[in-house]
Amino acid sequence: MDMKEVVGRVVADLVREYFADSPMGASPLPVIRPPAEPGALAALERRSGQSFEEGYRAFLSLTDGLEGFSLLLLGCRDWEPGGLGEAGEAFRETTWDSDPEDVGVAPGTPLFPVAVNEDGSQGVFLIDPAGAEERFWLTGEGDSFFFRDFADVLVFLADASSCEPRESLLP
């Protein structure tokens, strides 16, 4: 399934959930943003210090971030001064202080925040782990889940029972 289909399905589910809530609007309002500009996308990739996974690049080319989950999926514009990228960076520092080696994230592994909740207690990182196929790590609030690609992250955020991600990179 390509990223356009994944995003379309996930957004349709978010919209259905939003309108099904009683009172209406109890769920976060889904917001699809305009696509990221190619120059902004390239600058964000440089900032991350690692190559973007193909699905994440395709996602940002469709929508420069997505609102409607418990986590805001960050886009290029979130890294402007005062944006939620700052909350993502603060969460990264907190994560490094919480011994990520316990789940197999080696010291010095590049972590780049691609999603964060409003209070900065949970997020998703693009990771560049040596020898592991997983490129994304959802962590915080006692959770630790690893995903091979960004499409898997989106599907999991829409319906956690839809897949069984790894909980550790350790064998």
Query: For the purposes of burial, counting CB atoms within 10 Å of the CB of 23, is it exposed (0-12), middle (13-18) or buried (19 or more)?
Result: exposed
Model confidence at 17, pLDDT cuts 50, 70, 90, reads: confident
Residue 24's pLDDT is 67
Whole-model pTM: value is 0.91
**Amino acid occupying residue 74:** L
Residue 104's pLDDT is 92
What whole-number distance in Å separates Cα of residue 113 and Cα of residue 137? 9
Q: Which two tokens stand for residue 123?
A: 């997020």
What whole-number distance in Å separates Cα of residue 110 and Cα of residue 82? 23
Whether 15 shows a pLDDT value over 70: the answer reads yes
85 contacts 137 by C-beta, under 8 angstroms: no
Residue 25's pLDDT is 65
User: Mean per-residue pLDDT for 44-51?
Assistant: 94
pLDDT in tens, 55-100: 999 999 999 999 888 899 999 999 999 888 999 999 999 998 888 9
What whole-number distance in Å separates Cα of residue 102 and Cα of residue 112? 19
Model confidence at 45, pLDDT cuts 50, 70, 90, reads: very high
pLDDT in tens, 108-138: 899 999 999 988 899 999 998 777 899 999 9
Whether 9 shows a pLDDT value over 80: the answer reads yes
What whole-number distance in Å separates Cα of residue 60 and Cα of residue 169? 26
**Amino acid occupying residue 126:** L
**Amino acid occupying residue 121:** S
Model confidence at 37, pLDDT cuts 50, 70, 90, reads: very high
